Structure 1
Amino acid sequence: MDPVIVVGAGPVGLTLSLALGAQGVPCVLLDEGPGTEEVRLARTVVLREDTADLVERLGAADLEKDGLRWSGWRSMRRKQLVREVPLGAGSEGSHDAGGSGDVHDFGDAGGSDVQGGPSLPAPLHIPQHALASALRAAVAAAPLVKLVPLSRIDTLEQDRDGVTVHTKGPGTTWWRGSYLVGCDGARSTVRKLLDIRFPGRTAVERHAVAALRADLPWPGEAVLHRQPPWRGGGAEVGARPLPDGIWRLDWLLPPSGELVTPDALITRIRDTLAGWCGETPPYELLDTGVHTLHHRLARRWRVQRAFLAGDAAHLLGALGTQGLDEGIRDAENLAWKLAHAWHHRGGDLLLDSYQAERRAAVAARLRAADQSLPILRGGGGLRTLVPGTVRGHDTLLADGHLGRGALGAPPSYSHSPLAPPHAEAHTTVGTPPGAPVADVRVTAPDGTAVRLRERLGQGHPLVILVAPGTGVWDRRHWLTAGIMPRLVEAVDALPSPAELLVTESYPGASAHTVLLVRPDGHLVAAFAGVRPAELFAAARAALGAAPGAGGGENGETGENGDDERGPARAPGPRERVHADRSARIN
């Protein structure tokens, strides 16, 4: 088959191309720009644990070393005291805004610690150009991804077998692909060529932003200060740490469209630093900007063989919701589905599930932000919802930043069209069906113990047996003991190749529970023991089989003659088409 064409080489397009390449699908990545990143320290991104893991797993190395995970989140408000805040995991002692570890009167300001809890690691905060550069380096080393700079599409045509696009640029030409994904941003050319509406709200929030190097009283912590008492502080100001002593400061601007002049911004910086530190400390101003946040959602995310992802499909960002985080989740969700369709020549139901799952998840995030905005910005109504608590403000504001609740937590696809019908063999574990699985330690096929997340993104489902005590056995013995031979046989009979893993324990699961997990890490179903027929039915549903169909994924025998069990195996590395082959139409 022809390669997949990805339009747009921002972080989402780069992530999608790498994810497809990792699953044996050749890609042509059309980059409108010159293939380099502009250094802008005031333009940063926040990655949750799951999205940071994904991009690092795809080869964007050293993000953890170059970035910074917040050790806490401090929410400050007027006429309160700044109290002790525990340091990050593994640290000794505690500290406060004054650095002494004691209660410290911060004049007219104060705060409370808002933590994500031990089960919710702090997010990673890095400059966007650092993320994009790391992903570009990974693309340069990926044999199945071909990046073409200075290529702007102006024509898109589809037929039964593929997609044809024309690009303008030094290498003006036509390109042929099996599928196409528009990751080309808020002003997406792909979306316009597909005639997809993009309704929503304009200028939901405006922020003045500055990146500066300074010593602030909360190393490694993010600060959110509501109603600061100094003149010109505005309704809200935040500070997020970056590497090398750099901070990003954000001031929430009034909705009236106030002009932010350079002099006005310098005054904001000095007043804010003085308000936090008692006097304005030495600082080095590195970058500034004004960001306007919009909320929009494309009506359709799929038109035949063309798809939208990232900012081309949705815009969000108010109250700390992270549009890039959602775009990377788009890429992870779509990659394994496109890979399965590319290798096995089918899957309309599977491909349709991308829009059903991801559009619903982003729409829920937008609704939660829109419902919270009047409470937090309008000044009224909060007591009706959260009687007598100021912490209600803190919690709502922190949810989007910390990655929890309706504003920030990883999505659950509980109502997915890929969810199997309930069966008596299903059992309940700590993860609901459709939610991301817990990142437990598992034993891989080669006998090594790894994190479960390290086995994701390889294009095949995972089957996990909960077997206490196997960690102390030699793998050669427990593979042939107890229920393992029957489970191995059941996994071999699944409609798509799957990987069998073993774990000592899983939250809420009893011994001999069997979990079926999608390639993107969402739970399909859990079974009480080895249930081959039910496991097979659940795997077929998760791969987009029509209900009640007796043949392949769409109820028919595939073009390659496979029966309902699908191909005997996925193509190996030597069988995959190399991306260096030309995708051009001459």
Structure 2
Amino acid sequence: MNTSQVLIVGAGPTGLMLALRLARHGVAFRIIDSNSGPGEASRAMAVHARTLEFYQQMGFADELVTLGIRIEAMHVHEAGRELASLPLGEIGAGISPYPFVLSLPQDEHELFLIGKLARAHVEVEWNTTLENWVQLDSEVQATLIKNGQVQHGVFDYLCGCDGARSTVRAIAGIDFSGGTYDHRYYVADAEVAGDNTDLQAHLGANTFALMLPVRSSGSQRLIGILPDRPDGAPAPVFDDIRGEVESLLNIQVNHVNWFSTYRVHHRVAPQFRRRRCFLLGDAAHVHSPVGGQGMNTGIGDAVNLAWKLAKKLQGKAGDALLDTYESERIGFARSLVATTDRAFRAIVSQGVGGRLLRRWLVPHALPYLSGFEGARRLLFRTVSQIQVRYEDSALSGGHAEHLRGGDRLPWLFDGTQDNFTALRSMDWQLHIYGEPAPELLDEARSLKLPVHCYTFNAAAKLASLSRDCACLVRPDGHIALAMQLQQSGAMRALALRLELDFSAATPAGTTPSRKEPA
């Protein structure tokens, strides 16, 4: 009998992150993939701040950063002419410990995560295909083909991280409505004359091209719309588009390491959960590459689901907690698909609106707005996914001035106190910014909830924290309850409603830790 509690299908970044988080929570699982090994080519390049914050919880964000390249600026071109330049180096300073956009190819990113999983004594089962699965009231029964041999396994839950053509989703009978863009994309890893450490973007009517640096090979990643080709033409090779790409980006390509083409879809599944089956990443949602959101969104799905599965399997939550995965992530996915779709269509539009965007808004409005700190911070919060919030979740409630239940916990760092350090426990915890109320401490103690007290100062105020506010923080770093007056009773009510046990995996004692400035 299979003793694993969770079957993860798909070993891309989403599946690997889910596996790493489940391993940290002590959940038994298997992770399988039909491929013979990790991918050797990739489209995803951008690693955003929120993803790095999740990695910081696990202790390896800084190690990953050293593998990539920080994008210092974005240069926007049309017809070989630079329209605008936007500094990106420290655009999120004070908002996140990772105030930048990191360029790292998905294949290298995956190898890094696979290495971390191996250190947790877990290996991806390659050449293993999900043939079929059925779910009963208390279990999922799966038939696998591993290296040509049939296996049968029984699991508590099944997680489909197997991409846009998901077998898990297809067998579940879940629709994947949406559409496909008319254009076909190309992606290439190429050696280009000269040095480039910035993001180069070309905008135009029915043309779109990006160039980003790749550290490991000293090459550049080229991504763009494949020029139209006549029906029946042979499969394209890079030399078919070399002239147009070099002209658009004003570059000279000396050598191409690999080249591929693909189509882009915009789709969202109507369900991310069906009883004991969950969909994550591209199996649940796909969209335009605008903003480099896809891979980061899948990783966010994995983080959201992992701790909920762990708590349910450990008997520390009721089934209603698992319902919040779909309600929290599907709303964000729908919004993201709609936003990136509108942005992409506007960028490549041949109409008056597209020309206005490329020839007036980008060269004039973008540099103007980038001169305002508020505009830069809003851009960073949005693109980095720090702005993702779950206000309408059954887990969220309360407010404390600017904070609402469901918000990401703001980062507080003033050189002597760092509230993200406590998040490395990946468990429920209570944060108090100022003087703790005895009644709230008594409630936390009775709920076996770890407490962290921080001094309220100018840095805390700048981080949108208010004096003497209290935040019940989830294992993923989002705020469940924001309490301006530190009122007691709200945490206990939430625990009763969702059958939650807040106690840490490793008992933290009953004495709150206090982070005082020196």
Shared fold per TM-score greater than 0.5: yes
The equivalent of 2:489 in structure 1 is 533
Shift of 1:528: 2.9
The equivalent of 1:113 in structure 2 is 85
The equivalent of 1:100 in structure 2 is none
Shift of 1:262: 3.6
Shift of 1:362: 0.6
- 1:490 partner amino acid: E
**Does structure 1 conserve the Cα–Cα contact (< 8 Å) formed by 2:50 and 2:384?**
no
1:465 to 401, 425, 432: 432
Shift of 1:167: 0.6
1:519 to 456, 468, 475: 475
The CA distance in 2 between the partners of 1:384 and 1:133, in whole Å, is 42
Per-residue CA deviations over 1:452-481 (Å, capped at 9, x if unaligned) read: 4444364422211213xxxxxxxxxxxxxx
Per-residue CA deviations over 1:253-273 (Å, capped at 9, x if unaligned) read: 357788634432333344356
The equivalent of 1:207 in structure 2 is 185
The equivalent of 2:454 in structure 1 is 502
Shift of 1:394: 5.7
**Does structure 2 conserve the Cα–Cα contact (< 8 Å) formed by 1:460 and 1:497?**
no
The CA distance in 2 between the partners of 1:523 and 1:57, in whole Å, is 15
- 1:500 partner amino acid: H
- Deviates most, 162-171 or 262-271: 262-271
Could you say what secondary structure the match of 2:265 adopts? strand
Identity within the alignment, %: 26
The equivalent of 1:160 in structure 2 is 137
Shift of 1:325: 0.9
Paired residues in the alignment total: 480
- 2:412 partner amino acid: V
2:400 to 408, 424, 427: 427
The CA distance in 2 between the partners of 1:56 and 1:268, in whole Å, is 41
- 1:25 partner amino acid: V
Task: Mark the runs of 5 or more structure 2 residues left unpaired by the alignment.
Answer: 370-374, 508-518
Shift of 1:18: 0.7
Could you say what secondary structure the match of 1:525 adopts? strand
Could you say what secondary structure the match of 2:314 adopts? helix
The equivalent of 1:141 in structure 2 is 119
**Does structure 1 conserve the Cα–Cα contact (< 8 Å) formed by 2:227 and 2:241?**
no
- Larger gyration radius, structure 1 or structure 2: 1
Question: Structure 2 matches for 1:5-404, cutoff 5 A?
Answer: 5-34=7-36, 36-40=37-41, 43-55=43-55, 57-58=57-58, 62-78=63-79, 109-116=81-88, 117-119=91-93, 121-143=99-121, 145=122, 147-170=124-147, 171-203=149-181, 205-216=183-194, 219-227=196-204, 235-244=207-216, 245-253=218-226, 260-272=236-248, 275-276=250-251, 280=252, 283-344=254-315, 346-378=317-349, 379-381=351-353, 389-391=361-363, 404=381
Question: Structure 2 matches for 1:455-494, cutoff 5 A?
Answer: 455-456=422-423, 458-467=425-434, 483=436, 487-494=440-447
Shift of 1:194: 0.9
The CA distance in 2 between the partners of 1:346 and 1:169, in whole Å, is 34
Could you say what secondary structure the match of 2:321 adopts? helix
- 2:100 partner amino acid: A
Could you say what secondary structure the match of 2:271 adopts? coil
The equivalent of 2:516 in structure 1 is none
Could you say what secondary structure the match of 1:389 adopts? helix
The CA distance in 1 between the partners of 2:125 and 2:387, in whole Å, is 33
- 1:312 partner amino acid: A
The CA distance in 2 between the partners of 1:324 and 1:257, in whole Å, is 32
- CA 1:567 to 1:210, structure 2 compared with 1: closer, same or farther past 3 Å? closer
- CA 1:383 to 1:249, structure 2 compared with 1: closer, same or farther past 3 Å? closer
Shift of 1:511: 2.9
Shift of 1:517: 1.7
- CA 1:568 to 1:202, structure 2 compared with 1: closer, same or farther past 3 Å? closer
- CA 1:499 to 1:182, structure 2 compared with 1: closer, same or farther past 3 Å? farther
Per-residue CA deviations over 1:387-445 (Å, capped at 9, x if unaligned) read: 9634588699x99xx7654896642112223223x5xxx4213x4432212222399xx
CA RMSD of aligned residues (A): 3.4
Q: TM-score, length-normalised on structure 2?
A: 0.82
Shift of 1:309: 0.6
Shift of 1:571: 7.2
- CA 1:318 to 1:14, structure 2 compared with 1: closer, same or farther past 3 Å? closer
The CA distance in 1 between the partners of 2:504 and 2:39, in whole Å, is 43
- CA 1:568 to 1:208, structure 2 compared with 1: closer, same or farther past 3 Å? closer
Shift of 1:381: 3.2
Per-residue CA deviations over 1:276-309 (Å, capped at 9, x if unaligned) read: 5xxx4x7332221213211111121111111111
Could you say what secondary structure the match of 2:489 adopts? helix
**Does structure 2 conserve the Cα–Cα contact (< 8 Å) formed by 1:208 and 1:290?**
yes
The CA distance in 2 between the partners of 1:517 and 1:442, in whole Å, is 20
The CA distance in 1 between the partners of 2:228 and 2:380, in whole Å, is 26
State yes or no: 1:438 paired with 2:438.
no
The CA distance in 1 between the partners of 2:138 and 2:271, in whole Å, is 21
- CA 1:451 to 1:133, structure 2 compared with 1: closer, same or farther past 3 Å? farther
Task: Mark the runs of 5 or more structure 1 residues left unpaired by the alignment.
Answer: 79-107, 229-233, 444-448, 468-481, 547-551, 554-565, 573-586
The equivalent of 1:474 in structure 2 is none
The CA distance in 2 between the partners of 1:261 and 1:139, in whole Å, is 36
Q: TM-score, length-normalised on structure 1?
A: 0.73
Per-residue CA deviations over 1:103-136 (Å, capped at 9, x if unaligned) read: xxxxx61231224534472211112111111111
The CA distance in 1 between the partners of 2:423 and 2:45, in whole Å, is 23
The CA distance in 1 between the partners of 2:68 and 2:472, in whole Å, is 34
The CA distance in 2 between the partners of 1:292 and 1:60, in whole Å, is 33
Shift of 1:569: 5.7
The CA distance in 2 between the partners of 1:257 and 1:484, in whole Å, is 72
